[in-house]
Structure 1
């Protein structure tokens, strides 16, 4: 039996970083692997406190929990960042086993596996995830991710942009069927685009009006299918733009009406006046009356040209405003004659 134990220990010794400490935490034994990774000589480690390789990365509570656990005779497992003699750091997956004799803990036996590269990759992954989360939550567009389960699309994420646009809290909607959260999805046509994205990998929907009991809005956006089968919807609200467009449309209709009236109801009599003035024989009039008539003719011609310009400009521009102002000035001029 002892031979088997020694064989097992020999195998463990070849592939693991091993140490033994007394109850005070002073090192009693280290194997070659421990010396290699810590860059200390065995003579420098024996009798030294195990804190000789403490990197300072972990807080006091972390090690307090460790010592409390092994002090009670229980096994502790976790990842520890240590510091080598040359100042370099290394991660080890650590298992500390209390050695118990006569119901009392006599010493501690530690087995470690280096995982520096794995921890670096994990840190990079965490960093990328944090960057994505910040981007996900700080863009103004709404972003919703969906996962298909059976015949349902379940909401798996809901960014702050979506919370603001739809006045819903992410905690309330994540895990629910999209039709439950947005009951107007199917009738408004959005559901067809979700299905299209799921089948084809991408779908861009045109301007759509979403309606339910609580909402009446206009939306535009795109659906993407991720490698993990999730559907991402990126959208923005264009309700204000649609309202402004409708107002502009009504305004243009009113301008067209004004232009039509200016052309047919105002310009026609002006044209008649100009025609009649051409028939007048100025030689029969006194010099004063001739001047007044010439002044009237000039004013009517200006009025005629202004009406032509108003008909031409049928939308709200600085030029249009100037023309309306010009028309008002001409009107006041005729009233003062």
Structure 2
């Protein structure tokens, strides 16, 4: 019946049934204005108990007990917690629906007031005021008899769902219930009948007259007569469609992000200040399971299960603590595939996770497999080394015999080929040719990766 969500208003309205000793209505702003939780009203028959000094409470009670029907008092008091000053106009009236005596309290902050009696100017105004109060609320107010038929609904209910009184009053509550929620609503109704005074909460989709659906949230409580027999059920509800739409959009966004994260081969995980896993994507879970034979799970201490060696545990504890101290950095992590025996290399970045206040509450980690990249880099380094070797061979081992050959050719007697000296030169040319062949073989061998 009471909505624990505070509003930011500086005033509120409270309606208390004296005969039933329970609250009929409390503005949402009550909780923020008095700085209390929802349990405060459930534990007190007077909302000021424990909030003002005992002597102040005694004075207010005396003034309230002395009120005549349709009379009011206006008073100012300070709350003990926070020293907030409030002005309350308290009126004794009659509930136009039940005839019970009720106390209407209109409370505002930071107003000067005096303990004075302010009588109503004409009879019946209290009932008009209560009806106006009920119809001006942004929440729904309905009453249902023990046969499950509507006996009352406020203006907000009719305006939101598009019904007329003739469509609702005297009709069973199932008229405003979709088939999927019929049993849920019936169970709440029976629970309320069987538990007088107990607040029954219910959230369900309610159809409007035009067929559109609204997400609603309700609190129902049974109303008993003087003999303790339940005669009606009163419900206060609110439209939570915008909140549910936002929640649905947030869930869809979360699912899309989750799908994106789990469809990457990169490893993504996070840990809290105690080094326990807060999140792991599918690629990370699968890789850790493959490397260690033990599947990690959320809440487990990272790198501390039996699949990791003590050295690995110590190393990662150091890595995490560096990030928890606010450092953002990268490392190269090396491991061995237990099946293929291949060395695996991952570039891992550590990123501190901060609160809005700037405190580090965890670490987000991103790992990318760079095994192939390092392999290519190694091949490029080897290729460059071979090219340098080829250049060296070309400039030394090959150029020397070529220069010798050119010199010998220049010494030959081109006029008299049968000159005896040419025979000796040709012999030297054969020797130089063998040296050139050897150098060429060295060049060819250097181009082949070993």
Give the shorter-chain TM-score range: 0.5 to 0.7
User: Within the alignment, does 1:159 sit opposite 2:281 as a pair?
Assistant: yes
Cα pair 1:94 1:112 within 8 Å, conserved: yes
Cα pair 2:304 2:313 within 8 Å, conserved: no
The structure with the greater share of residues assigned to helix is: 1
Cα pair 1:91 1:114 within 8 Å, conserved: yes
Q: Deviations over 1:301-329 (max 9, x none)?
A: xx89x96xx69xx878xxxxxxxxxxxxx
Q: Deviations over 1:181-229 (max 9, x none)?
A: 55454665x54443332222x5121434357999953221322222342
Q: Residue 254 of structure 1: CA displacement?
A: 5.0
**Counterpart among 338, 345, 354 of residue 218 in structure 1:** 345
Cα pair 1:193 1:204 within 8 Å, conserved: no
Mapped partners of 2:208, 2:260: distance in 1? 37
Secondary structure of residue in 1 paired with 2:273: strand
Q: CA separation of 1:187/1:315 partners in 2, compared to 1, >3 Å: closer, same or farther?
A: farther
Secondary structure of residue in 2 paired with 1:35: helix
Q: Which residue of 2 aligns with 1:243?
A: 375
Once the two structures are superposed, the pairs formed by residues 160-175 of structure 1 within 5 Å of their partners are 160-167=282-289, 172-175=296-299
Secondary structure of residue in 2 paired with 1:246: helix
Report how many aligned residue pairs link the two structures. 292
Q: CA separation of 1:10/1:240 partners in 2, compared to 1, >3 Å: closer, same or farther?
A: closer
Cα pair 1:165 1:237 within 8 Å, conserved: no
Secondary structure of residue in 2 paired with 1:223: strand
Q: Residue 93 of structure 1: CA displacement?
A: 1.1
Cα pair 1:76 1:95 within 8 Å, conserved: yes
Cα pair 2:203 2:216 within 8 Å, conserved: yes
Q: Deviations over 1:127-180 (max 9, x none)?
A: 33223322332232110101012xxx1111110121344345996332222231
Once the two structures are superposed, the pairs formed by residues 254-273 of structure 1 within 5 Å of their partners are 256-257=388-389, 260-261=392-393, 263-273=395-405
Secondary structure of residue in 1 paired with 2:237: strand
User: Within the alignment, does 1:81 sit opposite 2:205 as a pair?
Assistant: yes
Q: Which residue of 1 aligns with 2:322?
A: 196
Mapped partners of 2:296, 2:288: distance in 1? 12
Q: Deviations over 1:262-306 (max 9, x none)?
A: 5544443333222211111222138xx9xxx9xx99xx8xx89x9
Mapped partners of 2:344, 2:143: distance in 1? 69
Q: Residue 23 of structure 1: CA displacement?
A: 6.3
Q: RMSD of the TM alignment (CA)?
A: 4.4
Q: CA separation of 1:10/1:241 partners in 2, compared to 1, >3 Å: closer, same or farther?
A: closer
Mapped partners of 1:27, 1:114: distance in 2? 19
Cα pair 1:154 1:177 within 8 Å, conserved: yes
Q: CA separation of 1:7/1:203 partners in 2, compared to 1, >3 Å: closer, same or farther?
A: closer
Could you tell me the TM-score, scaled by structure 1's length?
0.66
Mapped partners of 1:39, 1:105: distance in 2? 30
Q: Which residue of 1 aligns with 2:254?
A: 129
Q: CA separation of 1:81/1:68 partners in 2, compared to 1, >3 Å: closer, same or farther?
A: closer
User: Within the alignment, does 1:281 sit opposite 2:408 as a pair?
Assistant: no
Q: Which residue of 1 aligns with 2:215?
A: 91
Mapped partners of 1:38, 1:164: distance in 2? 51
Q: CA separation of 1:112/1:18 partners in 2, compared to 1, >3 Å: closer, same or farther?
A: same
Unaligned runs of 5+ in 2: 1-15, 28-132, 356-360
Could you tell me the TM-score, scaled by structure 2's length?
0.52
Secondary structure of residue in 1 paired with 2:217: strand
Q: Which residue of 2 aligns with 1:325?
A: none
Once the two structures are superposed, the pairs formed by residues 1-337 of structure 1 within 5 Å of their partners are 3-5=18-20, 8-9=23-24, 14=134, 16-21=139-144, 25-54=148-177, 56=178, 60=180, 62-68=181-187, 70-71=189-190, 73=194, 76-86=200-210, 89-97=213-221, 108-149=233-274, 153-167=275-289, 172-181=296-305, 183=309, 184-185=311-312, 190-200=316-326, 202-210=327-335, 216-228=343-355, 229-253=361-385, 256-257=388-389, 260-261=392-393, 263-285=395-417
Mapped partners of 2:202, 2:25: distance in 1? 24
Q: Which residue of 1 aligns with 2:128?
A: none
With a CA cutoff of 8 Å and minimum separation of 6, indicate the structure with the bigger relative contact order: 1
Mapped partners of 1:9, 1:207: distance in 2? 66
